[in-house]
């Protein structure tokens, strides 16, 4: 039977040009994160189904590629529902596997543990341009560090990579879940309504301040409360320093650690950063994942009008899995989006030595062939890329093709 030639729906074949860029960026990410003391680990792409469907993954749990039981355990005729048929699935992120890994191996790992993970994840999303059902995630997480040393390291490490890739003039937007809560409490929202308020607030960049106000009123919140809430954002517009302004205004509603946290991160990041970016306090930054407990941040590249990575502190999550509280903070770089931007901009991977093509005429006697191979080996050991190919009848066209593939030197070997 003939193969179906296309890859499965929503997944892609990586062509040589893209692969070269992917490899280069992966190497840069690994090398840079390692210089910050991160240690790479890997988990299987397949996870037990219970681990993927325990409500930590939110919407992603609806998008799992599920794997069928095998052998005697598979009973198609007795199965009543999907769950009777599956025992595992493809991971939809790297955070759940990290929590499992850490709970399985904490005794063998350094503390704090600075993990680097680079691996594919799968989500059965509706495919769109630039969004695939298999994609690479690159996460760094610091487990066991309660202080903002973690946040500062994550931001410095991640922005250093963007700087090395020549991204300039970008923003790291930063906020703190405790700031979000303090603002809502100050205005008079009840704690149960925070999530709903934040979902609306998250739309500020799309619908503006007036839109947010309208939505909150529509949602039935008290007009005076909404008024007081929106006044904070009015005040922020003219405030010289947003954190200082909110700290003064919110008074006891804002834990002093939250204010210090944001000031300290800003001070250290600005003193140490090497890339050209602005750390921007953004009190409207929400980030969807409800497991965040403190600092949250997001990368905003000019080239891409959407988040290109982000993360934050999630001090409660690992404990839910392991039974032991472990402070944690992570940053996920938008690998696929960065590759897309680099490809769109015609990014060229720095050259790795000469590319030389040896063209061998047909009928070259075997003793000469062996000499050519020996010479090619010498050249390779000296750091060159050497391609050996049979000389085609249309040698001119052949050399043009090779030149398109980056071969700049040619050497020809004739039988006579």
Subset of residues 26 to 45 that bind a copy of itself, contact rule: CB under 8 A: 27, 30, 34-37, 39-45
- Does residue 305 bind a copy of itself (CB under 8 A)? no
The DSSP output letter for 300 is E
CB of 132 to a copy of itself, least distance (A): 9
CB of 210 to a copy of itself, least distance (A): 38
Strand-pair category, 355-360 with 409-413 = parallel
Kindly state the tokens that stand for 380: 């390779």
- In this chain, which of 29, 143, 386, 391 binds a copy of itself, going by CB under 8 A? 386
Task: Look up residue 364 and give its two tokens.
Answer: 């070259």
**Residue 274 binds a copy of itself (CB under 8 A):** yes
Give the separation between CA 219 and CA 366, rounded to whole angstroms.
83
Query: What is the C-alpha to C-alpha distance for residues 220 and 226, in angstroms, rounded to an integer?
Result: 10
CA 153 to chain centre: 16
Site string for a copy of itself, 150-179 (x = CB under 8 A): --xx--x---x-------------------
Q: Between vectors from CA 335 to CA 103 and to CA 29, what angle results, nearest 5°?
A: 75
Dihedral pair phi/psi, residue 407, rounded to 5° = -80, 125
Say whether residue 13 binds a copy of itself (CB under 8 A): yes
73 is a contact residue toward a copy of itself (CB under 8 A): no
Binds a copy of itself (CB under 8 A): choice among 219, 248, 257, 352: 352
The number of residues in the chain equals 416
Contact 204, 214 (CB under 8 A): no
Instruction: Return the residues of window 117-156 that contact a copy of itself according to CB under 8 A.
Output: 120, 122, 124, 134, 145, 147, 149, 152-153, 156
Told to check if 381 binds a copy of itself by CB under 8 A, we report yes
Q: Which residues pair with 98 in a beta bridge?
A: none
Nearer to a copy of itself by Cβ, of 199 and 382: the residue is 382
Interatomic CA distance for residues 82 and 25, integer angstroms? 39
Q: Which is nearer to a copy of itself, 196 or 384 (CB)?
A: 384
Nearest C-alpha neighbor of 130 from the set 22, 303, 12, 24: 12
If binding means CB under 8 A, how many residues of this protein chain bind a copy of itself?
119
Note if the bond before 173 is cis, omega within 30 degrees.
no
Least distance from C-beta 54 to a copy of itself, angstroms?
A: 5
How, if at all, do strands 39-40 and 113-122 pair?
A: parallel
- For residue 203, the minimal CB distance to a copy of itself (Å) is 28
Taking CB under 8 A as the rule, does residue 21 contact a copy of itself? no
Residue 278 interacting with a copy of itself (CB under 8 A): no
Q: Please, which residue, 79 or 207, has the CB nearer to a copy of itself?
A: 79
Specify whether the CB–CB gap between 134 and 120 falls below 8 A. yes
Under the binding rule (CB under 8 A), the answer on residue 390 touching a copy of itself is yes
Contacting a copy of itself within 198-217 (CB under 8 A): none
Contact region with a copy of itself (CB under 8 A), list: 110-118, 220-228, 250-258, 408-416: 110-118
Of 58, 59, 110, 251, the one binding a copy of itself by CB under 8 A: 110
Query: Within a 10 A sphere around the Cβ of 188, how many other Cβ atoms?
Result: 14
């Amino acid at each position: 039977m003939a193969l179906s030639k296309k890859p499965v729906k929503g997944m892609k074949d990586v062509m040589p040009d893209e692969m070269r860029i992917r490899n280069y960026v992966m190497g840069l990410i690994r090398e840079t994160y390692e210089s910050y003391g991160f240690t790479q680990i890997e988990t299987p792409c397949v996870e037990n189904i219970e681990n993927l469907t325990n409500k930590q993954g939110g919407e992603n749990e609806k998008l799992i590629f599920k794997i069928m039981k095998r052998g005697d355990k598979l009973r198609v005729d007795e199965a009543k529902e999907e769950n009777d048929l599956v025992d595992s699935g493809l991971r939809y992120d790297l955070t759940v596997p990290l929590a499992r890994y850490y709970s399985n191996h904490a005794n063998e790992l350094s503390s704090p543990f600075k993990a680097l993970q680079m691996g594919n994840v799968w989500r059965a999303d509706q495919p769109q341009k630039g969004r695939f059902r298999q994609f690479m995630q690159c996460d760094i997480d610091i487990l066991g560090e309660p202080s903002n040393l973690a946040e500062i390291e994550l931001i410095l490490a991640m922005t250093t990579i963007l700087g090395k890739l020549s991204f300039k003039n970008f923003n790291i937007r930063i906020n703190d879940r405790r700031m979000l809560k303090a603002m809502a409490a100050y205005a008079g929202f009840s704690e149960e309504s925070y999530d709903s308020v934040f979902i609306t607030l998250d739309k500020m960049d799309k619908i503006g301040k007036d839109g947010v106000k309208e939505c909150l009123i529509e949602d039935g919140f008290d007009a005076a409360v909404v008024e007081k809430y929106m006044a904070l954002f009015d005040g922020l517009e003219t405030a010289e320093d947003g954190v200082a302004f909110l700290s003064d205004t919110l008074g006891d509603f804002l834990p002093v650690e939250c204010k210090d946290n944001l000031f300290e991160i800003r001070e250290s990041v600005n003193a140490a950063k090497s890339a050209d970016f602005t750390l921007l306090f953004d009190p409207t930054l929400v980030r969807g994942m409800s497991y965040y407990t403190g600092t949250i941040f997001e990368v905003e590249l000019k080239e891409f009008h959407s988040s290109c990575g982000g993360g934050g502190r999630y001090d409660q999550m690992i404990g839910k899995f392991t039974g032991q509280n472990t402070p944690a903070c992570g940053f996920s770089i938008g690998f696929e989006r960065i590759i897309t931007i680099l490809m769109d901009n015609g990014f060229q991977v720095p050259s790795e030595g000469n590319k030389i093509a040896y063209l061998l005429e047909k009928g070259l006697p075997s003793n000469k062939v062996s000499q050519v191979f020996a010479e090619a080996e010498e050249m390779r050991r000296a750091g060159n890329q050497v391609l050996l190919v049979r000389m085609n009848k249309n040698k001119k066209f052949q050399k043009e093709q090779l030149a398109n593939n980056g071969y700049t030197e040619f050497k020809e070997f004739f039988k006579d």
